[in-house]
Structure formats: C-alpha cells, structure tokens
Amino acid sequence: MNDLKKDIVSEQSIQTLAMDFLTVAQKAAIASYPWIGKGNKIEADGAGTEAMRNQMNLINMSGRIVIGEGEMDEAPMLYIGEELGTKKGPEVDIAVDPVEGTTMMSKGQNDSLTVIAVSTKGSLLHAPDMYMHKIAVGPKAKGSINIDASLTENMISVAKALGKDIKDLTVMIQDRPRHDHLIKQVFDAGAQVKLFPDNDVNGAIATAIDEIDGDILVGMGGAPEGVIAATALKCMGGDFQGKLAPQEPEEVERCIKMGITDPEKALTLDDIVKSEDCFFVGTGITDGLLLKGIQKTNTNLTKSHSFVTVSGNPELYQFVEAYHS
C-alpha cells in the first residue's frame, strides 16, 4: 500500500475510533461515580482506570499510553508505555485521566470528569507529570496568543481578534496563590476574571464554546492535562501554547529522559499535537462548567453526559446524553 493510501486509511480509522472511546469514557465515569464524596480518591481513580483499561482492550487498535496515571511499576494505573487494544487496528497515541479533579470529586465537589485524547502514533507530546504554563483561546482568537508575552499584551491581542474592548474580556484562571500576579493584570486592564477551583481542561475547552463565558484561559497547571486540552482545542480550531515549568533538577532530567531536550521551550499547538488526525472525549462525573455529572434515574438507569470533538470539522462538536442499564 502506498503512503497516500496509508494516510487515508489512518484518517478514516482515527475518526471511527471516537465513538469507541466515548464508550470508554462513559464506563470509566460510571465506575467512579460510587466514590463521589467518599474521601478516597485512590479508590475512585482505581475504579475508573480498571473500567477504562478493560474497555480499551476491546477496541480494534494498537494503542499506546503516552500520558497516563503512573509509571510501569505503579499498577493498577494506566502506565506510560502500556499497550492496549486488539492490535488489529490503527496505531495511536492515547492520553488519559480517568478522574480529572480527583480531590474535588472525593469531596463531593463539582468539575470532575473522565478525559481522553487520541491521535496518530508519535504525534502527542510525552509531557512529564509536572507544571506547565498555559494559554488557550477559541477559534476566533487563533494566532493571537504568545506565551512569552505578558498577559496584558495577550489580552490586548485577543481583544482585537475578537473585536472586543479589553474591558469586555473574560479571563479564566485557576484560583491559586501562584496566579495572583495574573489576576492583578486582569484587574488592572479592567477585564473580568473568572476563577475556578480545579481542572483547567474544562476551562481551556470553554474558550472555544460561545455559550460559555470565557475568552482566554491562562495559568500554570499540570502538563499532562495541557496535552489533553490542546488536543481538544486543535479539533475545535482553537489555539493553545504551553511551556514546561520544571521545579527542580530531577524534573529537568525527567524531561530529557522523555525526549524533551529543551524543557523551557515555548510550545505551540502543533508542537504539542503534531497530527491533524485526533479527537477528544470527556464524560462528566460531577456537575461542572462543561458537563453534567453521572445521575441515577427513577427507573434505575444511569445517565451520562459527554463531550466529543473530532479533527477535520472544527465547527462540529457533540454533547451526548446517554442512558445505561
């Protein structure tokens, strides 16, 4: 088979897998549901991971975890390098978080969900588990951000791209002391801050959805979550930039070991997600900014609410409400 035919088959196969992975996310979220508010995030994560692994092994693919919940010796978590699927389908990179927002979920709080990003083999940044500086916007502001510039400069640029006055911008920032300087820049510019307690994947995606009030996401959060959010935004036509923020020499060494020779390099969306063939799936566990949580119905069914976006048509994304026996 020539290279062109291989590319066509790969693209069709990647698109087809999205619905299979929707089932994976739904099952993981449902498995985690009994642990809401029980104060045991390890058990919640373990339940979601087991359901996720079992379902992914049924999919016709040769999948490899590039961002997971642990290293090879930390079973039962989905470890980096773990191979999944029937080995009969396309070769794909998989980035997962069975329970994004585990601490909040264990306390019965909002904004926890199951998230999965999938792309062609070798195309996702192997981001180590450390901090990453991030900035994200939706499609209308694509090309207007620069992670090396100040937030004030970025707000001016994004406001121009959106045709807004800077005072009408809403900037989403995780509520942490490390972000106080960013919050001050928003206030000084006269723009609006929208603080959230955890889970910046939700916030990044929100910038690409008109019905949700959020023009920019900025701040420092987990690098693995950055790759997952970047995949969603690539599918939606948005923009994302990141810069790893190692906090100690050991983290620099880990970056180099994972193939990142310049840990503090500014990373564009195409650096983080190199392929145009990718998709993102998320299912709510507790109610949040983007999705409703798992619910039990009066007829003893379980109701899930999910979000799916696939590359190739940035204006088309789906919210999926499903009932499970």
State the DSSP string of 247-274: -SHHHHHHHHHTT-S-TT--B-HHHHB-
**CATH (domain of 36):** 3.30.540.10
**CATH (domain of 150):** 3.40.190.90
Please state the separation of Cα 287 from the chain's center in Å: 17
Asked whether residue 90 falls in the same domain as residue 113, the answer is yes
Residue 1 forms part of a structural domain: no
Q: Residues forming the annotated binding site?
A: 45, 69, 97, 100-102, 131, 176-178, 198-200, 222, 225
Q: What is the pLDDT of residue 71?
A: 53
Rounded mean pLDDT, 141-165: 98
Residue 250 forms part of a structural domain: yes
Domain region containing 35: 11-123+277-324
**Confidence at 72, pLDDT banded by 50, 70, 90:** very low
Res. 75: pLDDT tops 80: no
Asked whether residue 187 falls in the same domain as residue 286, the answer is no
Q: Residues forming the annotated binding site for Mn(2+)?
A: 45, 69, 97, 100, 225
Q: Residues forming the annotated binding site for substrate?
A: 100-102, 131, 176-178, 198-200, 222
Measured N-to-C along each axis, helices 180-189 and 151-162 cross at an angle, to the nearest 10 degrees, of 50
Asked whether residue 112 falls in the same domain as residue 230, the answer is no
- 62-71: per-residue pLDDT in tens? 999 999 876 5
Count of domains in the chain? 2
Our CA angle for 242, 244, 250, nearest 5°, is 170
Q: What are 158's two structure tokens?
A: 């994004």
**Using CA atoms, how far apart are residues 14 and 57, in angstroms rounded to an integer?**
16
Res. 11: pLDDT tops 80: no
Residue 258 forms part of a structural domain: yes
Q: Phi and psi for 295 in degrees, rounded to 5?
A: -130, 150
Asked whether residue 286 falls in the same domain as residue 266, the answer is no
Residue 101 forms part of a structural domain: yes
Res. 150: pLDDT tops 80: yes
Neighbours of 303 (CB within 10 A): 15
Asked whether residue 99 falls in the same domain as residue 29, the answer is yes
Asked whether residue 137 falls in the same domain as residue 33, the answer is no
Asked whether residue 176 falls in the same domain as residue 75, the answer is no
